[in-house]
Chain A
Amino acid sequence: MSAELPPEIRLGNDIARALHHLPADEGATALATHLKKFWEPRLRRALVERVRADDPRVDPLLARATATYLEGDVDRAEVAEPSGG
């Protein structure tokens, strides 16, 4: 069950599921941008560790987005947009 997942995987996978309909590159950038815009650094660090450890529970799109985030390839204009929420 998702409740047994560590929060960084559970929350990240939720975002990945919502963005799966996008083309892979676009989805990865959108997810990476979301991580940059909304996630507190320790949550990001925990996710990076999971991805580096090839945790099989990490959604592939989330794993790809994490790499995109690490490369700094996020949508800066979107980060600057007001978001609420």
Chain B
Amino acid sequence: MTTFLTRDTYSPEPDLGTPPVPGPRTAHVVIDGVAVDVAPGTSVLRAAKEAGIEIPKACATDTLKAFGSCRLCVVEIDGAKGTPASCTTPCADGMVVSTQTEQVRQVRQGVMELYLSDHPADCPGCARGNCEMQALAREVGVAEVRYGLGGANHLSDRPDESNPYFTYDPKACIVCSRCVRACAEVQGTFALTVEGRGFDSRISASGAPSFLESECVSCGACVQACPTDALTEKSVIELGMPTRSVDTTCAYCGVGCSFRAEVQGSGDGTRVVRMVPSKTGGANEGHSCVKGRFAYGYASHQDRQLAPMVRDSIHDEWRTVTWDEAIERVAAGFTDIQARHGVGAIGGISSSRCTNEEVYVVQKMVRAAFRNNNVDTCARVCHSPTGYGLNQTFGTSAGTQDFASVEHCDVMLLIGANPTDAHPVFGSRMKRRLREGAQIIVADPRRIDLVRSPHVEAAHHLPLLPGSNVAFVNAMAHTIVTEGLHDEAFMRARCEGVDDYLEFIAREENSPEATAAATGIDPAELRAAARLYAAGPNSAIYYGLGVTEHSQGSTMVMGLANLAMLTGNVGREGVGVNPLRGQNNVQGSCDMGSFPHELPGYRHVGLDDVRAIYESLWGLTLDPEPGLRIPNMFDAAIGGSFKGLYVQGEDIAQSDPNLNHVREALTSMELVVVQDLFLNETAKYAHVFLPGTSFLEKNGTFTNAERRLNRVRPVLPSRTGKDEWQVVCDIATAMGYPMSYPDAGAIMDEIAATTPTFAGVSFERLDAEGSLQWPVNDKAPHGTPTMHIGEFVRGKGKLVPTVFVPTTETTSRRFPLILTTGRILTQYNVGAQTRRTANETWHPEDVLEIHPADAEVRGIRTGDRVELTSRVGTTTLHAVVSERMQPGVVYTTFHHPVTGANVVTTENSDWATNCPEYKVTAVQVGVANAGDEALAQASEAVASR
């Protein structure tokens, strides 16, 4: 695979015209006298490009199926009639092709003249260099247009400027359909079409008046595919074309898309012109979403805080100080707290948005300089049950597959995840496989897009009630086992605990009929879904926070692992158990030893031999006891034994549950240090603010949901004057434990030297190979796309009886509805980044989705401001009455601090990991300002139904 790192001059990523065809290169072809071997079925256009021969093209591009409409890529083939399009003509052994004959030249020139007769002579894109038409004219030898420009044309068509990120200018459009096909084939939204016939053919976005009002999801695939100036990034129009590029990795969701950051200028004068997804990116293969491609402007937003600040009290004004003064304040403050309250009175929280290298040094600072294990990560509040559940059952805290595995999947079981919103690029990959014939079972309280959308229809939508996941997965397994659909040979050969598990799961209490009251699922529908999953033959489980953020999150993860094991769906392509991670580096932050009981590589701090590795290297004695988890830190702060906290890149005062409790904890501390891009909600309770760096300024690695380590390369110089890991090293040093590295690569070298899973990882290897999926070691020097082949990491897979224990968060007359929370496409997490971009256009506020029946009984209409109350808090927001909801369940997002959705979520948590139960909160909803009497009446009305 060719990889591209940084380029001092700009050139677009090579385009070979049509997609590659897998298989041995057994077709021998001669093109213009040049011999080339390709896989049979490869297009003549691609074969020519591989042989170094350029054939003009307009409608062809290697990310889309050949279309054969532009007639510019015509060639002559010995023994064949006419001038076939090279893009749609497959190579056959012995084929002899001529690309530059007189007949071919005349055809191309005739076609090109027609295109130019309806293309602006003063096309700004052609002048800029991002419209290919004038270059194509030169390539085919057209200097003049015989027909002139006075005939019927579209040159007075008005541009559509509605989308905040790109313009559609129909004047430049040649109706090659690349945008339409990109929307269909790559993104899978089918928002674009060609409206009209013949000369009247124009691109239309869902037949809507504008792109903004259409079904377009602004993924940008159409813009990337467009060969003209018709679809162009507004940033390119404003700034002009880039002059160089840097390969890096997106900092939004856990898909971890690879991008070319295309820029102008250098040093402090560097400007990002656009982000273009890399075709060589292992996770995204040239695709992106509205966040990754367009929503990077927060890095240069005026709200960025670029200098350190301190204050004595959270009621004082901030005072800007030097780095030295800020570091000294932090070190002296923490040291003083430890002297007065003990070593365990301080701790740190690392961020899943930061690089592996940054996270590693935070846990090292805590363990070596703070001399305790009070380090945790924001993964605590999202996927900690994944770590626990998959480690218990499979022996490793990670998903089993790479994303490409879905291309071999026959049946997908999707539960507690909404990939088209939260992991859009993988969502597109799923939709492509579904269009090819795979089937999907969607288990979700809401009717998400993958239940039914263009060219997608779930075989089964199981609208389970929040809190009933374990009952559901047990019913699936019960059906499979009692109907004899399980793979007993696989279980006996590969798993332990088989007999106990089979006895447990076959109990009547686990049947679909017995669990129906808890799950709300029609038993017959559930049985049919179970049969489909068992039939496969390749069945894969994809899940998200709707699995983990429950009081039985860890149990449910183990239940999903059970389901895969009992059907033999582990250890090959197309199957497995695949957590869709929320943030870009959730996997990596967990891998790097951010949990308070584990050193990097998930090795317990109590193990003498593991501690010895670090004690020898770091030159000190480590605490063998686990430290405090995040919720423990809050409780200890309120209890008076925890007084100081360093928080890196997480807004705990917005993202964590029961915010009133969090705020009480933060105000109970003597020193809160926040390192972030912005003065976030947590910074309101901080005494020291240390400015952080955006992903465009970082040098390091992210690890995505498929265990893929991708390089993050500095596109811009640090705007704060320091890398974040340097700041952490400075704090440790000032506290008496010297820490320093020559560069971020040296941190990865230390990680590799001390963690067997990463033994073969280095920046040099990543630069050479593009990316690597851990484990990377002597056994797997090029990484491990699929895990547990032949044997589980722990030896035998462990089948765990997963008894359903209902949550204690139950509805009542006072709180008769269940609130569940989630994410939306255009916003990300607490919105710190996306709220500072034009993505606000689509989602300017969090809203409450409520079923029509629940709305009617409360007198709520779409647009009404409603009060949402739980037993721990109240917030207000606007309502959207939606049949996507099921009766009794309401839904909102937590992207905006003004709403503060987590004011109402409770301290309930997963029994094993303390991951908060964000997905189940008993609430009441009423029209805001209706008064207590009206709310009481609403409760009465619901109770009497």
A→B interface (CB under 8 Å): 1-3, 7, 10-11, 14-15, 17-18, 20-21, 34, 36-43, 79-85
Contact = CB atoms under 8 A, between A and B. Distances in A.
A72 to B, nearest CB: 13
B392 interface: yes
Contacts of B397: 82-85
A40 B596 contact: yes
Given A18-B805, A40-B626, A40-B628, A84 B871 contact: no
Contacts of A21: 801, 803
B552 interface: yes
A72 B907 CA distance: 30
Given A2-B808, A40-B628, A83-B597, A18 B602 contact: no
Contact of B391 (A2, A20, A36, A85): A85
Interface stretch (B114-122, B127-135, B141-149, B379-387): B379-387
A12 to B, nearest CB: 10
A82 B396 contact: yes
A81 B391 CA distance: 9
Give the dominant DSSP class at A's interface. helix
Given A39-B626, A42-B344, A82 B395 contact: yes
B808 to A, nearest CB: 6
6 contacts: A14-B909, A40-B374, A79-B606, A83-B387, A85-B384, A85-B595
A37 B602 contact: no
Closest 9 pairs (CB-CB, A-B): A84-B387, A85-B388, A84-B397, A85-B913, A82-B602, A18-B911, A7-B635, A21-B803, A84-B391
A11 B630 CA distance: 13
Interface in B510-564: 551-552, 554-555
Given A37-B597, A79-B604, A84 B388 contact: yes
B349 to A, nearest CB: 15
Interface of B: 344, 373-374, 384-392, 395-397, 551-552, 554-555, 590, 595-598, 601-604, 606-607, 625-629, 631-632, 635-636, 639, 641, 794, 801, 803, 805, 808, 871-872, 906-909, 911-915
A38 B641 CA distance: 19
B162 to A, nearest CB: 46
A38 B636 contact: no
A42 B555 CA distance: 26
A3 B906 contact: yes
A25 to B, nearest CB: 16
A7 B638 CA distance: 11
A57 to B, nearest CB: 14
Given A40-B596, A83-B391, A17 B911 contact: yes
B596 A83 contact: no
A85 B595 CA distance: 7
B194 to A, nearest CB: 50
A85 B635 contact: no
Contact of B552 (A18, A37, A80): A18
Contacts of B803: 18, 21
A40 B641 CA distance: 12
B607 A41 contact: no
Nearest to A7: B635
Q: Which of A41, A79, A83 neighbours the largest number of chain B CB atoms within 10 Å of its CB? A: A83
Contact of A83 (B392, B552, B801, B805): B392
Given A1-B871, A40-B632, A83-B597, A17 B805 contact: yes
B390 A84 contact: yes
Contact of B907 (A3, A20, A41): A3
B811 to A, nearest CB: 14
Contacts of A43: 628, 632
Given A11-B914, A37-B604, A42-B636, A3 B872 contact: yes
A9 to B, nearest CB: 11
Contacts of A15: 911-912
A54 B293 CA distance: 59
A14 to B, nearest CB: 4
Contacts of B805: 17-18, 20
Contacts of A39: 626
A28 B755 CA distance: 33
A43 B374 CA distance: 13
A39 B911 CA distance: 12
Nearest to A39: B626
Contacts of B385: 85
Contacts of B395: 82
A15 B913 CA distance: 10
Given A37-B604, A79-B606, A84-B384, 16 more contacts: A3-B906, A7-B632, A15-B911, A20-B805, A38-B597, A40-B344, A42-B344, A81-B392, A82-B396, A82-B602, A83-B597, A83-B598, A84-B390, A84-B590, A85-B386, A85-B388
A82 B872 CA distance: 35
A35 to B, nearest CB: 10
Nearest to A10: B907
A55 to B, nearest CB: 16
Contact of A82 (B603, B631, B641, B912): B603
A14 B806 CA distance: 11
Nearest to B631: A7
A58 to B, nearest CB: 16
Nearest to A42: B641
A38 B607 CA distance: 13
A11 B373 CA distance: 20
A41 B374 CA distance: 11
B604 A82 contact: yes
A34 B632 contact: no
B908 A41 contact: no
Nearest to B801: A21
Contacts of B625: 40-41
Nearest to B374: A40
A30 to B, nearest CB: 11
B662 to A, nearest CB: 14
A10 B917 CA distance: 14
A29 B427 CA distance: 43
B700 to A, nearest CB: 22
B551 A14 contact: yes
Nearest to B872: A3
A36 B606 CA distance: 10
A27 B150 CA distance: 87
A61 B385 CA distance: 23
Given A18-B555, A18-B912, A83 B632 contact: no
Contacts of A36: 606
B602 A84 contact: yes
A74 to B, nearest CB: 11
Contacts of B373: 40
Contacts of A79: 604, 606
A38 B386 contact: no
Contact of B911 (A1, A14, A37, A82): A14
A30 B596 CA distance: 20
Contact of B595 (A3, A80, A84): A84
Nearest to B793: A82
A80 B912 contact: no
Contacts of B389: 84-85
A83 B388 contact: yes
A1 B812 CA distance: 13
Nearest to B385: A85
Contacts of A3: 871-872, 906-907
Contacts of B606: 36-37, 79-80
Q: Which one of A18, A37, A40, A42 has the greatest number of beta carbons of chain B within 10 Å?
A: A40
